[in-house]
């Protein structure tokens, strides 16, 4: 679906081309149209069924990185081969690949095939992930391959496989959320992690739906909900068992459904008998009346859903926790009913497809098991190899990383699309393991913290420069389309693997052409749980994505699963009895608080990309630790002070963000930074989930101390990781009219090629109150006029209040207040704004404030807008 625009009449001006594709970042895979040609690429959102014309600030700014000055365009090797203290220098492809292939051969000759390992990622396309799994088993003949999804989706996947016989994150389209009368979100913060998805929740609430959010923080998602349960991290399993206890006691169980569609209820019923409400309140901190309201809401609703995400799942009992919520959903008869059920909100762009086609240590394509003889025979036949030559399952991600450089562990490692030096638990231990390797090769488009440690760094094409398929959070297989060429000579990961396989003597088994590889993936997945055999590039084009399983060309695909039967041998879903266990690390005198980690809106994952995105850096420039005002007061910490967090693994520093949205006994930090502010310098890898291998990212014991005032700088990560502003670009194209809302059937109306420019109204200003009912302009600088012919959208508002009183900031359009933002005494606020609200050309936007009469202090404001 590319629309070449005819060359302009002006001599010397080449054609531009607009291509429909999807955002590179999260699993929502928002549709966007990228225009490229004789000028820097620009983008506009598309009206795709998941985002319906919305994008978050990460999506809007994603094209900024395509020609970022720090983009890697040539391979890097060590100036002195074998000496990782010598600098990385540019080399030819021949030199870089010679060194990598030489290392692979040496390692395998001296230490065996399994001493060469592969580590992949959920941002790779299906074709790349599939080819990486095949590359490990066929070209390297190693069992050592796993990927970063182990840190992400593995617990939910383990539970879904156990309960339903199938792991597809959402067993229904996203739009079903709008139909549900009750939605319970457990450890999920889509208002920050998938903002455009909020329109489905908003639509539900507008119809009167009730939403319950279970999160130790009152997040932007929780603030919109009708009920917020604020448990201690790591106690979600006890809460779910407690809710089921109440459901049984109150006669709310759907006994017909349980009898007809499930097995194992008696055992679970006996198990939850011990989770009486008072005990659950003691374990979790969730008051009994709130427990009861939640169960009654779920049970009485016509349509009800339970969605879990990383907050519930990234624990050493993450699989059992997801199962506990599935047990509750089953007892209430929800899965398989339209507009109802349990689902997990997949995270990475291809977090779904990436976990289906063989990047996992124990897996073959189509979600087949590597240990299963029939599966080995099927896949080996497609690959044209002997099934006996396929290795057996290897170690899970952290186990693989923790054995690097040891006897019996991997000695030469190839990393594609993961930055484990920042994102793996106990990251400093992982960094030291990476240093123990004989040889490390990393493919990335920037010099990530992991790439900095490598012997060879291989540049890769970026999302808009490659073709392939992705599978979004709904299980919808979609097309990533190439909108422009990569920098000269830079391959995508599919081509890289094909080239490497050729050098290893296995070239005949591999192709660098995405559609050829997809055709093979179809055959390899045929008959498997994730069956793609009926899906083709053509069908994806024509049908705007196809939901798997799709076992035949004439099969319509499966938007909704389980309506008739579950994917287990007997067709019934399985209840599994699960028990609460205390977090492996309990607070004590030395480490008295609970640390949890997660995400902020304007940064993505290990930050390699978003920390380099200028407009996002302005929004979330520094890593901040959230602390409750009571805790801050007790420790003498003020807003923005530098604080040091210490756990049994290590220390890291953050600016304090004092906010009453968090439990007083919990500290939250984002994991998007490395160096001195590495959240994963603090987390523990000592307790992995026994089923999924998931580390306990979401809970450990921590001590907090004030280091200095806000002026102190946090020790920066190494120089190469520092974001540098992108070169300023001038749009050559004439400004087109702004995108307007269009119907879902009309994807073309949003394709106008325009440039999007971030705009900010921000700064620190003195404030003198004249009464809460008497707002006034804060400062003349906080005024912005949308240029004629353009439109703007407000993306977020952040504000901080140094006074001891509640103040309001108002977003004013043409003299009329549009939105009020309350900011508590000495508190701050962060409000994502609906990205779909358009401000038309000529509108004047201002920020005003109101404070009680006579109150003085300072106010920090930051309004992010995007102008298109």
Binding stretches for Mo ion (CB under 5 A): 152, 347
Binding span for ligand MGD by CB under 6 A among 174-182, 590-598, 706-714, 737-745: 590-598
For residue 691, the 8-state DSSP code is: T
H-type alpha helices, 3-111: 57-60, 93-111
Residue 130 sits in the site that holds ligand SF4 (CB under 6 A): no
Binding span for ligand MGD by CB under 6 A among 231-239, 352-360, 758-766, 854-862: 231-239
- Find all residues with CB under 8 Å of 831, minimum gap 6, and list them: 220, 796, 797, 798, 819, 821
- Binding to ligand MGD by CB under 6 A, coded x per residue (else -) over 457-496, reads ---x--------------------------------x---
Per DSSP, what are the bridge partners of residue 4?
A: 17
Tell me whether residue 478 or residue 637 sits nearer to ligand SF4 (CB atom).
478
Least distance between ligand MGD and beta carbon 378 (Å): 28
Residues in the chain: 868
Least distance between ligand MGD and beta carbon 565 (Å): 29
Contact criterion met (CB below 8 Å) for 801 and 857: yes
Residue 294 sits in the site that holds ligand MGD (CB under 6 A): no
Binding span for ligand SF4 by CB under 6 A among 19-27, 263-271, 659-667, 836-844: 19-27
H-type alpha helices, 592-736: 614-619, 629-635
- Binding to ligand SF4 by CB under 6 A, coded x per residue (else -) over 180-219, reads --------------xxx-----------------------
Binding residue for ligand SF4 (CB under 6 A) from 16, 18, 19, 30? 30
Q: Is the dihedral of CA 560, 563, 568, 569 positive or negative?
A: negative
- Binning the chain into helix, strand and coil, the percentages to the nearest 5 are 30, 25, 45
Tell me whether residue 363 or residue 608 sits nearer to ligand MGD (CB atom).
608
Least distance between ligand SF4 and beta carbon 758 (Å): 14
558-562: list long-range contacts, CB under 8 Å, 24+ apart: 558/475, 559/172, 559/173, 559/474, 559/476, 560/171, 560/172, 560/173, 560/176, 560/338, 561/164, 561/166, 561/168, 561/171, 561/172, 561/336, 561/475, 562/164, 562/171, 562/335, 562/336, 562/341
Binding span for ligand MGD by CB under 6 A among 246-254, 383-391, 597-605, 747-755: 597-605
- Find all residues with CB under 8 Å of 589, minimum gap 6, and list them: none
Tell me whether residue 558 or residue 609 sits nearer to ligand MGD (CB atom).
609
Tell me whether residue 61 or residue 683 sits nearer to ligand SF4 (CB atom).
61
Burial of 815 (0-12, 13-18, 19+ CB in 10 A): exposed
Tell me whether residue 175 or residue 568 sits nearer to ligand SF4 (CB atom).
175
Binding residue for ligand SF4 (CB under 6 A) from 19, 25, 668, 674? 25
SS (H, E, C) 733-782: CCCCCCCCCCCCCCHHHHCCCCCCEEEEEEEEEEEECCCCCCCEECCCCC
- Binding to ligand SF4 by CB under 6 A, coded x per residue (else -) over 39-68, reads ------------x---xx-xx---------
> Quick one: which of 663, 689, 686 has its CA closest to 596?
663
CA distance 8 to 742: 28
Tell me whether residue 51 or residue 344 sits nearer to ligand SF4 (CB atom).
51
CA distance 214 to 196: 20
Residue 214 sits in the site that holds ligand MGD (CB under 6 A): yes
Tell me whether residue 309 or residue 859 sits nearer to ligand SF4 (CB atom).
309
282: left (phi over 0), alpha (psi -120 to 50) or beta: alpha
Least distance between Mo ion and beta carbon 146 (Å): 15
* Residues near ligand SF4, by CB under 6 A: 23, 25-26, 28-30, 51, 55-56, 58-59, 194-196
Q: Which positions touch ligand MGD (CB under 6 A)? A: 26, 121-124, 148, 151-152, 186-190, 192-194, 214-217, 219, 231, 233-234, 236, 309-312, 314, 347-348, 416-420, 422-423, 443-446, 448, 460, 493, 596-599, 601, 603-606, 608-609, 668, 671, 679-680, 683, 697-699
């Amino acid at each position: 679906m590319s629309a070449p625009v005819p060359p302009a009449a002006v001599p010397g001006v080449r054609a531009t081309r607009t291509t429909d594709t999807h955002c590179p970042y999260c699993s929502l895979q928002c549709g966007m149209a990228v225009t490229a040609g004789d000028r820097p690429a620009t983008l506009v959102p598309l009206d795709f069924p998941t985002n319906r014309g919305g994008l978050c600030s990460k999506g809007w700014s994603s094209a900024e990185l395509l020609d970022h000055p720090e983009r890697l365009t040539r391979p890097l090797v060590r100036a002195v081969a074998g000496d990782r203290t010598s600098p990385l220098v540019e080399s030819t492809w021949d030199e870089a690949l010679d060194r990598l292939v030489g290392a692979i051969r040496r390692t395998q000759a001296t230490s065996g095939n399994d001493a060469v390992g592969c580590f992949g990622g959920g941002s790779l396309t299906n074709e790349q992930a599939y080819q990486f799994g095949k590359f490990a088993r066929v070209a390297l003949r190693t069992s050592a391959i796993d990927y970063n999804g182990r840190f992400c989706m593995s617990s939910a996947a383990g539970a879904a496989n156990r309960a339903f016989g199938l792991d597809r994150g959402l067993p229904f389209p996203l739009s079903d959320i709008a139909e549900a009368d009750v939605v319970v979100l457990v450890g999920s913060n889509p208002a920050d992690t998938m903002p455009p998805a909020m329109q489905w929740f908003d639509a539900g609430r507008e119809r009167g739906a009730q939403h319950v959010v279970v999160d130790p923080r009152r997040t932007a998602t929780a603030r919109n909900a009708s009920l917020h349960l604020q448990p201690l991290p790591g106690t979600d399993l006890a809460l779910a068992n407690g809710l089921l206890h109440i459901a049984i006691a109150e006669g709310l169980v759907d006994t017909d459904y349980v009898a007809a569609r499930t097995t194992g209820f008696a055992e679970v019923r006996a198990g939850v008998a011990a989770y009486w409400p008072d005990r659950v309140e003691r374990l979790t901190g969730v008051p009994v009346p709130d427990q009861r309201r939640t169960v009654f809401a779920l049970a009485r609703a016509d349509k009800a859903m339970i969605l879990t995400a990383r907050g519930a799942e990234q624990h050493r009992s993450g699989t059992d926790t997801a199962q506990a919520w599935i047990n509750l959903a089953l007892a209430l008869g929800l899965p398989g009913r339209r507009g109802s059920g349990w689902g997990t909100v997949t995270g990475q762009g291809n977090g779904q497809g990436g976990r289906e086609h063989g990047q996992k240590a124990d897996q073959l394509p189509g979600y087949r098991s590597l240990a299963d003889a029939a599966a080995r025979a099927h896949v080996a036949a497609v690959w044209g190899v002997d099934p006996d030559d396929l290795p057996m399952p290897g170690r899970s991600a952290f186990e693989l990383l923790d054995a690097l450089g040891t006897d019996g562990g991997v000695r030469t490692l190839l990393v594609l699309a993961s930055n484990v030096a920042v994102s793996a638990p106990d990251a400093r231990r992982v960094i030291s393991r990476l240093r123990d390797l004989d040889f490390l090769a990393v493919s990335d488009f920037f010099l990530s913290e992991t790439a900095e440690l490598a012997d060879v760094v291989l540049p890769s094409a970026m999302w808009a420069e490659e073709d392939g398929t992705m599978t979004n959070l709904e299980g919808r297989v979609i097309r990533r389309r190439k909108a422009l060429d990569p920098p000269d000579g830079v391959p995508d990961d599919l081509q890289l693997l094909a080239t490497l396989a050729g050098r290893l003597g296995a070239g005949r088994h591999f192709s660098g052409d995405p559609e050829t590889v997809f055709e093979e993936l179809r055959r390899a997945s045929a008959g498997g749980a994730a069956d793609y055999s009926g899906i083709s590039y053509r069908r994806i084009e024509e049908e705007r994505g196809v939901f798997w399983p799709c076992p035949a060309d004439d099969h319509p695909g499966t938007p909704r699963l389980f309506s008739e039967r579950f994917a287990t041998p007997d067709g019934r879903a399985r209840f599994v009895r699960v028990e609460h266990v205390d977090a492996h690390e309990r607070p004590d005198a030395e480490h008295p608080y609970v640390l949890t980690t997660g995400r902020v809106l304007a940064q993505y994952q290990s930050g390699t990309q978003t920390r380099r995105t200028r407009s996002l850096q302005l929004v979330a420039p520094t890593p901040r630790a959230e602390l409750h005002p009571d805790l801050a007061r007790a420790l003498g910490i003020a807003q923005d002070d530098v604080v040091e967090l210490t756990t049994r693994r290590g220390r890291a520093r953050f600016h304090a963000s004092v906010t009453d949205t968090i439990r007083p006994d919990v500290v939250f930090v984002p994991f998007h930074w490395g160096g001195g502010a590495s959240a994963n310098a603090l987390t523990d890898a000592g307790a992995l989930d026994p089923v999924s291998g998931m580390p306990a990212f979401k809970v450990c014991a921590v001590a907090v101390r004030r280091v200095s005032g806000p002026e102190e700088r946090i020790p920066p990560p190494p120089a190469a990781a520092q974001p540098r502003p992108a070169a300023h670009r001038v749009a050559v194209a004439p400004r087109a009219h702004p995108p307007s809302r269009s119907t879902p059937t009309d994807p073309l109306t949003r394709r106008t090629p325009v440039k999007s420019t971030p705009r900010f109204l921000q700064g620190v200003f003195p404030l003198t109150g004249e009464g809460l009912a008497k707002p006034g302009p804060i400062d003349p600088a906080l005024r912005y006029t949308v240029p004629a012919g353009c439109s703007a959208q407000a993306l977020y508002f952040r504000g901080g209040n140094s006074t001891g009183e509640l103040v309001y900031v108002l977003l004013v359009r043409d003299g009329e207040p549009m939105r009020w933002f309350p900011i508590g005494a000495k508190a701050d606020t962060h409000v994502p704004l609906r990205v779909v609200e358009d401000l038309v050309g000529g509108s004047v936007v201002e920020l005003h404030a109101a404070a009680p009469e006579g109150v003085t202090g300072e106010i920090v404001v930051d309004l992010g807008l995007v102008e298109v």
